[in-house]
Structure formats: structure tokens, C-alpha cells
Amino acid sequence: MHEKITEFSQLLDGGLYKYFDVYFDEYKVLFDSMKYSVENGGKRVRPLLTLLFCDACGGNVKAAIPMATAVEYIHTYSLIHDDLPCMDNDDYRRGKLSNHKVYGEAMALLAGDGLLTAAFERISVWSQAGLYSAEVAVRAVAELSAYAGSRGMIGGQVIDIQNENKPDISFETLQLLDSLKTGALIEAACALGCIVAGADEDKIHAAKIFASKIGLAFQIKDDILDVTSSLEKLGKQTGSDIENGKTTYVTLLGVEKCQQMVDELTSEAMKALECFENNQVLKEYAEYLAKRDY
């Protein structure tokens, strides 16, 4: 992994956890629940992309930390809610018990709500502190709320729920589902990095194209790993999609064709980076995501 990824990951960790240090004892359990899921790491793909695009646009990466934090809080809230019995009913997330298995369903629900609202608080508070302008904050909030909202990530979750236990989902429906449920927040993450760096509209548009390609490749790769990886590597039960009769890219196309799609989408994502002079780390990161085994 490029040394800049390691550097940015350390910066990100510093920003992610400060929020949970302020609380009253009467509701400390809420912050414990929120922190439990945020600390459960994962690959931090979305916030890292925010920082990488800020860097590629020549921006101040430290100014992008609140934006990256906001993206990760929203991603984490979505996972907490996804695991609830009324949704996917998963007992484990990244090798640890799901939030509701530790703190109960009600607290898990509230932890997700808390992270969602904290995301927009982080963006606005740091604008008030002078880290970036109010105009940048408003643009960032508009982008993030649109891509994470009903016409974006949440809309994708609805399509997912409506198609549960339907083995005959079309390739087109599956693409729409994933472009919203997985891809939309990745698009927001990349756009926010450009916005805080003061990039022009052409670069923001190119970042979104990159994100749409890499987001779809990311989901297809996840489907591949569900049948080729292990619990130890993934931190969650493998083979669950097939066991639950879920339509995936692998069930529709097979592993070999899916890996070919991942490679093609990654190549297309690389082309979208041509307008960024400082794009080498982004290219390396895209390659890493395509070749990952967890």
C-alpha cells in the first residue's frame, strides 16, 4: 500500500473518534454504541477516497477530514441499520457482533440516527471554525444529503428489500440497486474531496464518473469474494448470498465473467482520472480494490 494511504488513514482515525469523547453519563451508552461500530474499521474506502481526491486537486487534506468523517459516519450508520432484524438480520459485521447484538435493537437504531446527524454537524461546525467557507459547507451538505438520501443510498436499500427472495432479478435492476445502495455514497465521497479543494466542475464530474465505475466494481468484487473467500478473511459469513437464494452478479454471470467486469470497470475508472495531474495514488488505490481478497 502506498505510504500516502497509510498517512491519510492515520489522519482519518484522528478525526473519527474525537466526537465520541463528549457526552453526559446519562446517555454515555449511546456514544459507546456509536463508537463501537465506527471503531470496527473496515477498509475505510469512502473517506480515503475523499482525502485522495482532495490531494489530487491540490487541496489541504486536513481540511477534508471533517468531510471524510461525515462520509464514514453515514456509511457506518447504514451498516448498523442494515444488520437489524427488520433489515438483513446479520449477527456479525467485520468479524465482531453486530451493534444490535451488543447494545440491543433500540440502541442500535439510535446509534445509527446519531451518526447520521453527526455527519452534517461535523461539516457545518468546522465551517464555523473557519476550516473552509460556508459556501463549501453548503455544497458539501447538498451533495452528501442527496447521494445518501431517498434518491440515493436509501433508495437502493428500498430496491434491495423489495427484491428479497426473488431469484429472477434482472441484471439491469441489480445494477440500479448497487449504483444507489453502494455507489451513491462513493460518488459523494469523491465529490466532497474535490469540493473542499475548490476544484472546478469538470473535475467534480470526472470524480463522480470514477466513483460510479469503481463503486460497481467494488460491489461485483464483493459478490465474488462471497463465494471465493472465507470468514477469517472477510470477517463475515461467506456463501450467505447463495444460501439465502439472493441474486448476485456471480449467480447471473459466474466468477470469471465477474472478475473480467471488475477489471474493465477499473480500467474505465482510471481513464476518468486523466484530468487530475496528481492521480498516481488514486490509480494505485483503484488497482488495490480490484485485486483485494477481503
pLDDT digits (tens, 9 = 90+) for 190-204: 999 999 999 999 999
**What would the pLDDT profile of 117-126 be if each residue is shown by its tens digit?**
999 999 999 9
Banded pLDDT at 165 (limits 50, 70, 90): confident
Q: What pTM value is reported for the model? A: 0.93
- Residues 161-184 have a mean pLDDT of 90
7-33 in b/e form (b: 16+ CB < 10 A) is ebbebbeebbeebbeeeeeeeeebbeb
- Spatial CA neighbour of 265 closest among 210, 223, 184: 210
Residue 250 confidence (pLDDT) above 80: yes
For residue 168, the model assigns a pLDDT of 80
Total Cβ atoms within 10 A of residue 217? 24
What are the residues whose beta carbons fall under 8 Å from the beta carbon of 251, sequence distance 6 or more? Answer: 167, 241, 242
Contact 212, 175 (CB under 8 A): no
Instruction: Report the pLDDT averaged over residues 214-228.
Output: 92
How many Cα atoms are found within 13 Å in the side-chain-facing hemisphere of 117? 5
3-state secondary structure string across the chain: CCHHHHHHHHHHHHHHCHHHHCCCHHHHHHHHHHHHHHHCCCCCHHHHHHHHHHHHCCCCHHHHHHHHHHHHHHHHHHHHHHHCCCCCCCCEECCEECHHHHHCHHHHHHHHHHHHHHHHHHHHHHHHCCCCCHHHHHHHHHHHHHHHCCCCHHHHHHHHHHCCCCCCCCHHHHHHHHHHHCHHHHHHHHHHHHHHCCCCHHHHHHHHHHHHHHHHHHHHHHHHHHHHCCHHHHCCCCCHHHHCCCCCHHHHHCHHHHHHHHHHHHHHHHHHHHHCCCCHHHHHHHHHHHHCCC
Q: pLDDT value at position 223?
A: 92
Q: What is the pLDDT of residue 209?
A: 97
What are the structural domains of the chain? 3-291 (1.10.600.10)
Distance CA(93)–CA(203), nearest Å, equals: 35
Percent of the chain with pLDDT over 70: 94
97, three cell numbers: 457482533
Average pLDDT over residues 30-45: 92
Residues 6+ apart with CB under 8 A from 58: 197, 278
Query: How much is the mean pLDDT over the chain?
Result: 92
Grid cell 473557519 is found at 130
**Residue 243 binned pLDDT confidence (cut-offs 50, 70, 90):** low
Q: What burial class does residue 65 get, using C-beta atoms within 10 Å of its C-beta: 0-12 exposed, 13-18 middle, 19+ buried?
A: buried
Check residue 241 and give its pLDDT.
59
